Amino acid sequence: SAVISQKPSRDICQRGTSLTIQCQVDSQVTMMFWYRQQPGQSLTLIATANQGSEATYESGFVIDKFPISRPNLTFSTLTVSNMSPEDSSIYLCSVVGTGRNEQFFGPGTRLTVL
């Protein structure tokens, strides 16, 4: 499976600011996703990060709030914009392996908004 790293691992931010989270994979992958995991909850897909084109967002998530970049097949960023305390969550990137439909996750970024 691919080795996935995320930066930062955690952060505490002030309301109204923005944070950019980076996801780096040690090999080229076609499919990369961003998820949100609110406290004590399951995982919810935010968007599919498409290489060289705009991300595909799920219902309830918009580009203005969660802009995503995917400049190449090993790297993506997710920005959480104009943050409020409700954005406090773990944000996870994931990739689909080169085998079958298996999906692997990064370690996550734990965000707290005050």
Partner 1 sequence: GQQLNQSPQSMFIQEGEDVSMNCTSSSIFNTWLWYKQDPGEGPVLLIALYKAGELTSNGRLTAQFGITRKDSFLNISASIPSDVGIYFCAGQRTSGTYKYIFGTGTRLKVLA
105 binds partner 1, rule: CB under 8 A: yes
Site string for partner 1, 8-47 (x = CB under 8 A): -----------------------x-x--------xxxx--
Site string for partner 1, 69-98 (x = CB under 8 A): -----------------------x---x--
Handedness of CA 97, 102, 106, 112 (dihedral sign): positive
Q: How is residue 34 written in tokens?
A: 């961003």
Cα–Cα distances (Å) from 36 to 80, 86, 88, 99, in that order, read 11, 12, 10, 25
Closest approach, Cβ 8 to partner 1, in A, equals 13
DSSP secondary structure letter of residue 86: G
Binding site for partner 1 (CB under 8 A): 1, 4, 31, 33, 42-45, 48, 58-60, 92, 96, 100-108, 110
